Amino acid sequence: MPGLYTHTVRNDGTTVSALIYNGDHQNHIDNLIPSLIDDYSTSVGQMQSTVDPGEVGTESLAVTLAGEVERLRFVIKEMRGTAQWYESLATRVVDVPMVFTTSATPEVWPDGSTTVRGWLWKVPHQAWVESDVTFTFYRRGSVSSGTAVMNLSITRIRKDAAPSTFVSSLTFNFTPGDTNTHTTDNVASAASFNAGDYLQITLTRLGADGGDTLAGNVLCDGLTATLTAFAGRP
């Protein structure tokens, strides 16, 4: 493929002086820059062309610059998880398990008192696609009847900023009907946080409240954050 610049045309019989000779070669040197070197995309097929560079010990060595470009494209495509190296990033749904931060026996909200349990979760820096995150709470009762009066709060924690509670005392009551594990979702709006923020998730049982009729413990079997993430990013 040619360079994208021109040179002075010399006629037959022209005496090649030092000025002409040096000037013509200097022209090549001056124009040997990326913007004046031809592409490797003369067609869609050539633009999509990739070559697997292999693994350590089974390397596929390029013998031309075109071969280097093909191998770099392959790695980009592999990292992005897309059919073509230049496509927008594919996404995947990720369930992230979370652990309690507030008690030695955090799985229990007892009856008869106000009990606070919490989780701390960091919004992923690279993987998270800026979309809503669903928190799924896995709860069960030690008895099969009654309603546990519970509230949910979510606070954003960010460096050099005051904590911001964007879900405050949301009614999150639990009426199990049996002693099996049940799930309840809460969707946290992406407008409320950024990648790298921490979210403090607090679930409180108002066990002494007159409306709390579940005469036993509420147990939490787990909490997951479900988010949309970029494929190929950890």
Q: What is the pLDDT of residues 12-28, one digit of tens each?
A: 888 888 998 888 889 88
Same domain, 48 and 115: no
Q: How many domains does the chain have?
A: 2
Same domain? For 144 and 193 the reply is yes
Out of 57, 80, 103, pick the residue that ends a domain.
80
Residue that finishes a domain, picked among 80, 105, 134: 80
Tens digits of residue pLDDT in 105-147:
567 999 999 999 989 999 988 778 888 999 999 999 999 999 9
Residue 147 lies in a domain: yes
| CATH number for the domain that contains residue 157 | 2.60.120.260
Residue 4 lies in a domain: no
| pLDDT score, position 106 | 60
In this prediction the pTM is 0.65
Residues 110, 74 within the same domain: no
Q: If we measure between CA atoms, which residue out of 150, 152, 164 comes closest to residue 198? A: 164
Higher per-residue pLDDT: 68 or 6: 68
Rounded Cα–Cα distance for residues 27 and 6 (Å):
9
Q: Of 30, 49, 80, which residue sits at a domain end?
A: 80
Verify that 165 and 109 share a domain, yes or no.
Answer: yes
**pLDDT at residue 5 tops 80:** no
Evaluate whether 121 touches 128 at the Cβ level (below 8 Å): no
Angstrom CA distances, 1 to 28, 48, 61, 66, 70, stand at 15, 17, 21, 10, 16
- Dihedral in degrees, nearest 10, Cα atoms 174, 178, 180, 185: -30
Check the CA dihedral 68-70-73-74 and report its sign: negative
Mean pLDDT over 155-184 rounds to 97
Same domain, 163 and 63: no
The residue segments making up the domain with residue 70 are 18-80
pLDDT digits (tens, 9 = 90+) for 55-107: 999 999 999 999 999 999 999 888 777 789 888 766 677 777 777 776 655 67
- Is it the case that residue 219 has pLDDT exceeding 80? yes
